[in-house]
Amino acid sequence: MNHRGHLSTEQRNANSTTIDRMSVSQAFDLVNSEDATIASAVARARGEICEAIALVVNALRAGGRLIYVGAGTSGRLGILDATECQPTFLTNPEMVQGVIAGGSEAITRSVEGAEDCSGDGVAAIGENEVGVNDVVFGIATGGTTPFVHGAIAEAKRRGAKSVFFACVPVDQVADKADVSIRVITGPEVITGSTRMKAGTATKMVLNMVTTIAMVQLGKVYQNLMVDVNTTVNAKLVDRGTRMIEVVTGVTRDDACELLQNSGGRVKVALVMHTRGVDPAAALNLLAEAEGRVGDVLSGAGSA
């Protein structure tokens, strides 16, 4: 068994050694103050995070995929981020995926030991038929997870791009990914509980990666999620309607009609109204602009 006590995520936090004797309010203040350090830790990894986002954008533009790979909390956060892309940005479920050690059972309950076999990580990459247009994004906050390292190695062997995310310095645990993101979160309030600060850092980075990538792919206009899936619930129908109102200035009733006539597609509705075209022509204009609705709207009058 390897000794992991040297890892910064495994060390004891001097600020929390008396948390078992603190009141609820004192414990809250402690946890809150520790969490407040995470944004600055993420900022210090700005260069590597931006480099990873560029890899993802290039891959998705080429028809490739972003595949998160992790175990435990890291794997679940990857699956969460991948799943949320579908309703938010109307992505194909294949475009952003999450793979977790232990399979689907590990999403809702702990499957201890699943992370310890690098061969299983290799197999997971094979099962997903990873290729040269894909990016495999390994998440291992403590840096040592064999499942993740195996997946990265196999992804590289297949010619895919790779990203590794950890919350420990590279001199504590090395990796062989194309881009290595190290967000140094330090000792946890509860020693070794990386579901806390390290988990928060992971969520922040993954949200940033996919959100900025989707913006670059034209799935956002101004700061509006114009590719939102308005067919799934009443909240998103309302959001889509309000976006049409805001951008076009039409009444709510007219915005509702536009959304309905567009088949629930906000971008199509915006182009239909602004360019005075039918849904089919709006789709063609969007295709010519590679989905960037701002480019289509700025060309109003030249259809």
Residues with catalytic annotation?
84, 115
Of the candidates 154, 150, 155, the one whose C-alpha atom is nearest the C-alpha of residue 135 is 155
Task: Give the other-Cβ count within 10 Å of 297's Cβ.
Answer: 19
- The conformational region for residue 177 under phi > 0 = left, psi -120 to 50 = alpha, else beta, is beta
Cα–Cα distance between 66 and 146 in angstroms, integer? Answer: 20
Rounded CA-CA distance 73/167 in Å is 13
Calpha distance 92→70 (Å, rounded): 21
Which residues, 6 or more positions from 53, have their beta carbon under 8 angstroms from its beta carbon?
A: 208, 209, 212, 213, 216
CA angle, corner 184, sides to 103 and 75, nearest 5? 10
Tokens of 113: 């030991």
Q: How many CB atoms lie within 10 A of CB 55?
A: 21
- Which CA distances in Å does 201 have to 10, 15, 56, 125, 141? 16, 19, 19, 25, 9
Q: CA distances (Å), 49 to each of 82, 160, 165, 175, 212, in order?
A: 17, 18, 9, 16, 11
CB 149 within 8 A of CB 125: no
